[in-house]
Chain A
Amino acid sequence: MKKQIRLRVNGMDRTVEVAPRTSLLEAVRDQLGLTGAKLGCDMQVCGACTLLLDGKPVSACSFLAVDADGSELTTIEGLAAGDRLHPLQEAFMDCGALQCGYCTSGFILTAKALLDEQPRPSEEQIKDYLGGNFCRCGCYQEIIQAVKKVAGI
């Protein structure tokens, strides 16, 4: 049985109808057309589907959409303010922190959550926080560099 849920997505109020088993990722990709978050492993391991739910990174592939009812959601599409990209987006480009780009939205959103929590994290904190996102192209060094750049460390 479908249930109507309300979400505030990138600052806009949205309503979607979902079955209880619909994942947050399916709701966001298929119904809201926000495809920046990707399905990677479908098991909360790789981080390609990361979204910020009330500011915190979650694996949208395994989070029930019904359980997000009333929450605030940030997706990669919501980071830039018009033409002005988020500093993390700029830093990822400057440092070369991506290749194929499939993991990128997950990394940037996770890094955003970290910097919102802790504006000047140590390198160790960055590694801890981002340690559960996979980049198969292997841009880990550049990703750390990009986050450090934005954090000013």
Chain B
Amino acid sequence: MNDFEYLEPATVAEACAMLKRYGGEARPYAGGAYLSIVMKQGLIRPKALVNIKKIQELKGIRFDPSEGFVIGALATHRELETSQLIREKLPILCAVEREVANIRVRNVGTVGGNLASGEPLTDLAQVFLALDARVAISGPSGDRTIPLEELFVDLYQTSLGEEEILTRVIVPPPPPATGIEYIRFSSSSVVDKPCVGVAVRISLNADRKTCGTVRIALGCVAPRPMRAQGAEALLTGHPLSPQLVEQAAAAAAEECSPISDLRGSERFKRGIVRVLVRRAMAVAYDRASHASTLRLRSGQAGSA
């Protein structure tokens, strides 16, 4: 690992100013879960690390009736996993977090860091995408909030500017009669990075039969976490039927662009997408039909 300056700003504004001062050669640092690996490998050699961990405004997980769930960028995976609020209102996130890496990484790795890394083999992004999450970003020229989808650009590339910091994730309160499921598929050990991850969210129309909003988010099968919008469109306005599920699953498998690598061939990954979409959809629909309140049920079917 190269030598670097170590800075500890107290506010977001101060942090952005420091990043600006280094003109792209400084990196925000929080848990270091991702950064330490790429720095040890010499893939990035920043001149300075700006430790944002002491910035109070980036902390905490809360529910705001107008905005929804507000998850501070510094919330660790473990905080999300064990948050009482999340466990009650958005349990799918707890279930997903339980399978992220290991307890040590979950203790230090942050939600903000996870999303800002642009690492393609992750889980959290798919669930956030399915929930229409947005991310708030601060920079020297002000604040902005964008749909999470717009954050991801390519492998390890995001739309964050070099002087910007991701400050929080905002998950709008899901409509009533909503069900969500995430299935993580590992092609070898259970502790391996995911080979494919699929999140499906279905919010039913008032008739509680036809699909209102459908989100199918796919991970690890494109340069960035993606939505299978073609597949989503097939379902909108229709009740779920086995044929429709099969069509949508096939469409999702077509829409993604996996590459062959250590964790599986392109053909295999497409096949797995198809199976997982089918399975996740059935569970999400079932949950939506039985959903009584805001609480989004999640079983332990988090892995395939």
Contacts and interface: CB of A to CB of B under 8 A. Distances in A.
B107 interface: yes
Interface string B86-107: 0000000000001001111101
Contact of A67 (B51, B101, B105): B51
B233 interface: no
B3 A44 contact: no
Interface string A18-58: 01110000000000000000000011110100100000111
Given A21-B2, A21-B4, A57 B107 contact: yes
Given A42-B40, A44-B37, A133 B102 contact: yes
A43 B49 CA distance: 19
A40 to B, nearest CB: 12
B33 interface: yes
Interface in A61-78: 62-64, 66-67
A57 B104 contact: yes
Contacts of B51: 67
B98 A128 contact: yes
B49 A20 contact: yes
B108 A20 contact: no
B76 to A, nearest CB: 9
B6 A58 contact: no
B28 to A, nearest CB: 13
Contacts of A131: 102-103, 190-191
B290 to A, nearest CB: 25
Nearest to B108: A58
A67 B280 CA distance: 40
Contact of A62 (B5, B6, B37): B37
Contacts of A44: 33, 36-37, 101-102, 104-105
Interface residues of A, number: 28
A43 B108 contact: no
B6 A20 contact: yes
A136 interface: no
A129 interface: yes
Contact of B104 (A1, A20, A59): A59
B153 interface: no
B155 interface: no
A132 interface: yes
B6 A132 contact: no
B32 interface: yes
B104 A47 contact: yes
B79 to A, nearest CB: 11
Nearest to A132: B102
B104 A3 contact: no
A23 B29 CA distance: 14
B3 A129 contact: no
Nearest to A46: B102
Contacts of A42: 40
B1 interface: yes
Nearest to A42: B40
8 contacts: A19-B3, A21-B39, A43-B37, A43-B40, A45-B191, A64-B6, A130-B103, A132-B101
Interface of B: 1-6, 29, 32-33, 36-37, 39-40, 49, 51, 53, 78, 98, 101-105, 107-108, 190-191
Given A58-B108, A62-B33, 18 more contacts: A1-B5, A20-B4, A21-B3, A43-B40, A44-B33, A44-B36, A47-B104, A59-B104, A59-B105, A62-B32, A62-B36, A63-B108, A66-B6, A67-B29, A67-B51, A113-B103, A131-B191, A132-B101
6 A-B pairs with least C-beta separation? A132-B102, A20-B6, A62-B36, A59-B104, A21-B1, A56-B107
